Amino acid sequence: MSVEVVMPQMGESIAEGTISKWLKEVGERVEKDEPLLEISTDKVDAEVPSPSAGILLEIRANEGDTVEVNSVVGILGEEGEQAAQTSSNGSGQKAEPISPPEPEPVKAEVQPQAPKPQSEPETQAPPSSEATEVVMPQMGESITEGTVSKWLKAVGDKIEKDEPLLEISTDKVDAEVPSPVAGTLLEIRTAEGETVEVGAVVGLVGAEGAAPVPASSKVSSQTSTAGQERAERETATATGATAPVQSIPTPAAPKPTAPSNGHDKPLGERTVEELRRTRSSPLVRNIAKEHNIDISQISGTGMSGRVTKKDIMAFIESGAAFKPEDLLGKKPSRPVEQPVRKEEVRTAPAAAEVHPASVPGDRVEPMSVMRQKIAEHMTFSKQTSAHVTSVYEIDMTNVARFRERNKADFQDRYGTKLTYMPFIFQAVTQALRKFPIVNAQVSGDQIIYKGDINLGMAVALDWGLIVPVIKKADSLSLSGLAQTANDLADRARTKKLMPDEVQGGTFTITNPGVFGGLFGTPIINQPQVAILCVGTIEKRPKVITTPEGDDVIAIRNMAYFALTFDHRIVDGADAEKFLSFMKEYLEKNQFSL
């Protein structure tokens, strides 16, 4: 049976994609998960892996064509199999088969958008009696998996279309997933606390009495059921690949020459394990590039043996990625694999892990998914950036007086509070324009100076921390900054943020001062290179000089501002000039709404 290759969903807001390049020609054989074509969207460029092994029978969207998400761009099948005849116009719509009629190709892409009712299987009841799949949605370009935090309905409960059905958690955002259709929750396939890949079916909704469609009735390139994963791993083992023991290299035996990682072989000659290990999320590949790590040397624990973020972080923490050449400033031509015997790997404790014993009276509970992701992200940041913090004391009396004069009118006009933060946001945007190195990012041995100023604002939640982003903050007025910030904070606390509202930040501001803290030394939000910590704004005695030149003690509104920066590219002088500019701006600027 032939299999359709479709334009994948690369983000909730992306509706179409352009074929950049076909990596195979009609008639060529392709392996499952082998890159088949390259696509471009307004958010990301990506390779599309083949959903199955076979022959490329037909190309339906040519290079340069732009087609809608879910459109059919090609057909795979076995040698001699006839593809359906259609014009190659990139529309993705099929014409009638040539002859004789064949079973309709099975769509090999579970889309992370609101799912549609299943197409009619050959031996199933009419579509009206079938269920609609609820899938793990794509919550951001770099997010490949999500965890079911809570089911809001039980099996058998009625639900309306777009009514919240379950809550999910990713390393970027917590969100509610609405029901794709009205009906009854027929089946829960992913229990609370389980983590599955994007596109995986987590439940079924349908009419009361509808028969659930077996998961095996559809071919999916993004399923995550245990049985299918085991089958794929067994396939890898049958080809001679070694099953992963732990997320550090486990070669069978040392060899006199450097081990092959699969990159030096043609695609058709690589083993299943080599192909799968080199396929990973953009986030994992960026971490590997940053630390000069060959992904193929890491045993993955993800679906089909893919390397996950947890795998690569464990590999880094184990010290296996360290090479003596790094101390000399030299980069080897190829990452060197550390020979470790399997027996040693099985018995060695996990690196940098501490397991204190609990005693009677202690309460032990597992970390939430959000807390685990925060822990991973913070640890990764400390390992990546050279953290240095500089602290300035700034007189906020000028801001306090303007705010006091205008806060009542602002509340009446805009229906929201005028806090101190919009003034600080405005000062930061001006400082970032003057010192663009603080608004930069590191990519290997290159510095990327970001064109946009997107301010991340840390929001404390009862269950963790989230950082929504004010996009193009330098284009907003003081009132615009206030309204945007308050709206994002309110929706963050009610789990109403969209995925793209927590992505793309270029600089982050955290405000522990609302809890009374004087100042802190925060951890940089990767891949940014600086973060500003705002301490409490309080009245303190301060020596000031009058216009007549007299020194007097006055009561002023004072606050400490701490800038933590990445000393790899931001020098101390840059940080001092940045804070000095902010001090001058906040103390003397004539603000306007």
- The residue from 362, 395, 567, 574 that is catalytic is 567
- State the residue for tokens 């009118």: 409
- Which element (helix H / strand E) includes 582? helix 572-588
Q: CA angle, corner 341, sides to 339 and 344, nearest 5?
A: 120
DSSP code of 297? G
- Which element (helix H / strand E) includes 530? strand 530-534
The identity of residue 118, as a single letter, is: Q
**Spatial distance between the Cα atoms of 305 and 298, rounded to a whole number of angstroms:** 10
- State the residue for tokens 């009561």: 555
**Spatial distance between the Cα atoms of 585 and 588, rounded to a whole number of angstroms:** 6
Three-state DSSP state, 577: helix
Order of strands across the sheet with 3-6? 29-30, 54-59, 72-77, 3-6, 106-107
**Spatial distance between the Cα atoms of 75 and 73, rounded to a whole number of angstroms:** 7
Contact by Cβ (8 Å): 475, 426 = no
248-265 CB burial, b ≥16 within 10 A, e <16: bbbeeeeeeeebebbeee
End-to-end C-alpha distance for the chain, whole angstroms: 65
For residue 439, which of 523, 379, 527, 562 has the smallest C-alpha distance?
527
DSSP code of 543? E
**Strand 145-151 relative to strand 131-135: parallel, antiparallel, unpaired?**
unpaired
- Which element (helix H / strand E) includes 533? strand 530-534
Q: Hey, which bits of 137-290 come out as E strands? A: 145-151, 158-159, 164-169, 174-178, 183-188, 195-197, 201-206
**Spatial distance between the Cα atoms of 58 and 414, rounded to a whole number of angstroms:** 57
Neighbour count for residue 113 (Cβ, 10 Å): 17
User: Which tokens hold the place of 222?
Assistant: 């993004």
**Spatial distance between the Cα atoms of 393 and 562, rounded to a whole number of angstroms:** 9
* Cα pseudo-dihedral 29, 33, 39, 42, rounded to 10: 170
Length of the chain counted residue by residue: 593
**Spatial distance between the Cα atoms of 39 and 141, rounded to a whole number of angstroms:** 14
**Spatial distance between the Cα atoms of 202 and 225, rounded to a whole number of angstroms:** 10
Beta bridge partners of 151: 166
571 is catalytic: yes
Helix ranges (DSSP H) in 240-368: 272-278, 282-290, 309-317, 342-347
- The residue from 462, 490, 571, 574 that is catalytic is 571
- CA 222 to mean position of chain CA atoms: 17
**Spatial distance between the Cα atoms of 586 and 557, rounded to a whole number of angstroms:** 12
**Spatial distance between the Cα atoms of 563 and 535, rounded to a whole number of angstroms:** 11
The residues annotated as belonging to the active site are: 567, 571
